[in-house]
Amino acid sequence: MDATLVTAHSEKEGAAPAFRKGFGFHPLGAWLASTAGCLAMLLRPGNAGPDTVADHIQVLAAAIAQIPARFRSRLLVRVDGAGASHELVEHLLSGGSGWWSGCPSREPIGVTIALAGPRAPARGAGQPVSGRHSRIA
C-alpha cells in the first residue's frame, strides 16, 4: 500500500491544498506484487494525512476482498514509513497477516525503536534487516 500526490492544475471536485505545497489529490492504493494489478484505491483530497490509519484499513479491506478466499490465508502486506503505525500493525496481526515496512534508518530512529517500551513488537518481530523492520506471520 502506498499513497502519492497527484497535482490538479485547476480546482477539481475533492481537490485540496497538499501538505507539500501543491494542490490536488493524495490517493491511497493497494497493489498485488505478483501482477502489479491495483486491488483498491481511495481518492483522497491533497490535504489527507499520509499516515491516516482508518484510510489504510479501508483500502486494505477493499484489497483483500479482491483476492480469492483460497489465497487469503498467508498475506504479506507492505507499507512505507507513513503507513507503519502501531494501529495498522496491530490490525494486520489480529487478522493473521504478516507485515513489512521500510524507511531509511538513522541512529536516532534505531534508538527510538529500541526504547519503544511496551508497545514495541513482540520478541522476534521487528528485527532490523538492512535498515528495515519486518515480521512475517
Instruction: For 54-83, write each residue's pLDDT tens digit.
Output: 999 999 999 999 999 888 877 888 887 777
More confident residue, 108 or 48: 48
pTM of the predicted protein model: 0.69
What pLDDT sits at residue 58? 95
Res 99 pLDDT > 90: no
Q: Which stretches of the chain are assigned E, i.e. beta strand?
A: 2-3, 6-7, 16-17, 23-25, 28-32, 37-42, 76-80, 98-102, 127-129, 132-135
Pairing of strands 28-32, 2-3: antiparallel
Res 129 pLDDT > 50: no
Cell 484489497 belongs to 63
What pLDDT sits at residue 30? 93
Distance CA 50, CA 71 (A): 28
- 8 A C-beta contact, residue 45 and residue 32: no
Average pLDDT, the chain: 75
